[in-house]
C-alpha cells in the first residue's frame, strides 16, 4: 500500500537495513505470516555461469570471484552451473513487460501530466503503448518458464542459493541514474527473493556487494542463510 506501481508483474518491495540481523526484525512487520527460521545446515551455493554473468564488468566480476573464494576457504560448497542460455530473450521479455504494464498502469495519469514525468519514465511509457496484448502475454509466460527452470536446476544440482554480483560493478558517478539493473533482472523477472550483502570496496572507496537468490517463496530460508554468510564475509 502507498506505492505508485510501474509494472505489477515486475515490481518488488524491499528494504534497506545495516545488517541481516536487522532484516529479521523488519521482515515479520512487513510480511504477513512470516516464519523466522534457524538453518539446519550450511547452504550449498550455486554460481549461474553463462551469458548472464558475462554482463558484470571486469572489476565487478573479479571482486565476485574473490568473494566466492573467501566463502570456499571458510568451508562453504560452491558449484558453477550453466543456466539461462537464453538470457538475451529473458532480458527482452522483461523489458516488454515493464514497458507495457507501465503504459497500462499510467494510462489515466500520463496523457494530462506527461511533462511531470522523468524523461526516462516517459520514454518507457511511450514505448509500452506500442506493445500489443499478444506480445505481453507471451512475455508473462516467460516469467513462469524461467521460474520453473531455476527450480529444476536447483533440484538437479542440490543448490540452496544462487550467488551473483549485486550490480555490474561499483556505483556509477552522479545522481542521474542508479546504474544498470541487469544483474537483478532475471531474479526480478522470475519473482524470486534476493538479498545483497556488502562485501568490500574498490580502489576508489565505492561499495561492492554479493547478491544471494533463493527459491520461489523461499524468503525465510534466504534470510536465515544470509545471516551465516554475512558472519563469514565480515571476518
- How confident is the model at residue 26, as a pLDDT? 94
Mean predicted confidence (pLDDT) in 30-36: 90
Band of the pLDDT at 4, cuts 50, 70, 90? confident
d(CA 227, CA 38): 10
d(CA 72, CA 43): 12
Residues 167-177 as b/e (b if ≥16 CB within 10 A, e otherwise) read bbbbeeeeeee
Whole-model pTM over 0.85: yes
Percent with pLDDT over 70 in the chain: 100
Is the pLDDT at 235 greater than 80, yes or no? Answer: no
Mean predicted confidence (pLDDT) in 7-34: 93
Query: Model confidence over 174-199: pLDDT tens digits?
Result: 888 888 999 999 999 999 999 999 99
Please check whether residue 190 is in contact with residue 216, taking contact to mean a CB–CB distance below 8 angstroms: yes
Residue found under cell 518507457: 124
- In DSSP notation, 25-47 reads HHHHHHSTT------SSPPPEEE
Please check whether residue 127 is in contact with residue 172, taking contact to mean a CB–CB distance below 8 angstroms: no
d(CA 74, CA 46): 16
- How confident is the model at residue 172, as a pLDDT? 84
Mean predicted confidence (pLDDT) in 61-81: 97
Amino acid at each position: 500500500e502507498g506505492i505508485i506501481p510501474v509494472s505489477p508483474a515486475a515490481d518488488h518491495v524491499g528494504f534497506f537495513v545495516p545488517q541481516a540481523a536487522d532484516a529479521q526484525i523488519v521482515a515479520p512487520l512487513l510480511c504477513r505470516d512470516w516464519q523466522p527460521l534457524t538453518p539446519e545446515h550450511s547452504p550449498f551455493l550455486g554460481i549461474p555461469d553463462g551469458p548472464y554473468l558475462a554482463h558484470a564488468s571486469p572489476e565487478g566480476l573479479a571482486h565476485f570471484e574473490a568473494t566466492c573464494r573467501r566463502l570456499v576457504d571458510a568451508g562453504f560448497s560452491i558449484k558453477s552451473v550453466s543456466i539461462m542460455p537464453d538470457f538475451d530473450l529473458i532480458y527482452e521479455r522483461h523489458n516488454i513487460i515493464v514497458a507495457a504494464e507501465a503504459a497500462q498502469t499510467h494510462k489515466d495519469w500520463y496523457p494530462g501530466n506527461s511533462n511531470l514525468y522523468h524523461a526516462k519514465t516517459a520514454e518507457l511509457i511511450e514505448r509500452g503503448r506500442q506493445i500489443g496484448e499478444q506480445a505481453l502475454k507471451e512475455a508473462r509466460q516467460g516469467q513462469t518458464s524461467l521460474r520453473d527452470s531455476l527450480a529444476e536446476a536447483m533440484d538437479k544440482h542440490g543448490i540452496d542459493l544462487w550467488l551473483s554480483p549485486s550490480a555490474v560493478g561499483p556505483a556509477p558517478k552522479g545522481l542521474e541514474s542508479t546504474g544498470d539493473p541487469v544483474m537483478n533482472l532475471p531474479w526480478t523477472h522470475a519473482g524470486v527473493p534476493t538479498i545483497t550483502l556488502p562485501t568490500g570496496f574498490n580502489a576508489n572507496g565505492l561499495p561492492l556487494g554479493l547478491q544471494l537468490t533463493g527459491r520461489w517463496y523461499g524468503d525465510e530460508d534466504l534470510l536465515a542463510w544470509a545471516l551465516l554468510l554475512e558472519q563469514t564475509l565480515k571476518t
